Amino acid sequence: MSRSLREVVFVDGVRTPFGKAGPKGIYAETRADDLVVRCIRELLRRNPSLPPERVDEVAIAATTQIGDQGLTIGRSAALLAGLPKSVPGFAIDRMCAGAMTAVTTTASGIAFGAYDVAIAGGVEHMGHHPMGEGVDPNPRFLSEKIVDPSALVMGSTAENLHDRFPHLTKERADAFALASQQKYAKALANGQIGPELVPVATRSAEQGWGLATADEPPRPQTTLDGLGTLKTPFRPHGHVTAGNAAGLNDGATGCLLAAEEVALELGLTVGMRLVGFGFAGVEPEVMGVGPIPATEKALASTGLSIDDIGLFELNEAFAVQVLAFLDHYGIADDDERVNPWGGAIAVGHPLASSGVRLMTQLSRQFAERPDVRYGLTAMCIGIGMGGTVIWENPNWEGAAK
């Protein structure tokens, strides 16, 4: 039996404001699954021409799938959001690229014809579930030297990147981090960041009910001198600090995917068109280089080159990780195509949710940039991986890139 693949489109994306993890964070007493529920309901509210029963799958990622992030969160969140009980759902995990993998997995099903419409996203409440909670690494990892002990500590892998590429200095990392804060602040002031946010009711036993409407992590007062004074917690006299890395955060994301023909049938907006994707494994000790071979895979499978990419949304888990990617491709640290609205160093990185944040921002940038045809979202992934997804701008007017 021969089959033809269908075009898959990103219709819409939303996210909660991102919060700081911990007892003083805005979501300290808010459940993780309730954050996902808000995203699902908002997608349906913003796209009223989509009958809820037309949603064929709900895929939600979480890195730590226990407690309020457990119970097959894709299915449980779908029920809690009020979707018909006929709509199935599942949980997925690829650490930081969980939501990215939720998108590529459901998009593949749409292309194949198994689904017409899907919701994909991710959540991480690092205040409730610190990274590594409940994990029991097999002792063979270390006893048989399958990985170096540093491979299990993400900050240490970033220090390893600085060792491997000594020209990626702390000064460059700090400068990149400062630019991230500045670009985020400018995008916020311009109204480019904000329309995708879903207000979330928050609860505090001490302060009562509140409403989260803005990201908590950004530090607009950041200065280069201030970054230079921060401690290096992963190594004495090291390079990685709280200022040039993403923080510990809480938040959720969600997006609506559909076959292009179905989106047009239902009157849904086409935000961007999926072109291809790639995932790759690397040495776990330097997991930050993962986006490089993942991007090579994605480019090879689509017949594109890095010169065809007009916008880059790169997850800033650590500044050095993004710098390694840029250096590999000969892209300047301050290239205006890269994270034009800032990145995770400013806004935060609630692990499994971040992939859809990247996609949502790229889709909104496409709407402003009809001169750009292709964009790329990429991220490094714990335990030595990288992921890249390439998208096409439906607003492209035929100009260069």
Enzyme catalytic residues: 96, 349, 380
How far is 356 from 51, CA to CA, in rounded Å? 22
The torsion of the CA quartet 389, 390, 393, 398, rounded to 10 degrees, works out to 170
How far is 59 from 40, CA to CA, in rounded Å? 11
Furthest-apart CA pair in the chain: how many Å?
64
Supply the DSSP symbol for 82: T
The burial class, CB within 10 Å (0-12 / 13-18 / 19+), for 267 is: exposed
For residue 250, what are the CA distances in angstroms to 16, 198, 371, 395? 9, 14, 35, 33
Of 377, 381, 344, 123, which is closest to residue 246 (Cα–Cα)?
344
How far is 16 from 83, CA to CA, in rounded Å? 19
Per DSSP, the three-state class of 201 is: strand
- 3-state secondary structure labels for all residues of 4-68: CCCCEEEEEEEECCCEECCCCCCCCCCCHHHHHHHHHHHHHHHCCCCCHHHCCEEEEECCCCCHH
How far is 44 from 172, CA to CA, in rounded Å? 42
Residue 199 CB coordination number (10 Å):
13
One-letter amino acid of 68:
D
Residue 89 is encoded by which pair of tokens?
């759902």
In contact, 16 and 39? CB cutoff 8 Å: yes
How far is 261 from 249, CA to CA, in rounded Å? 37
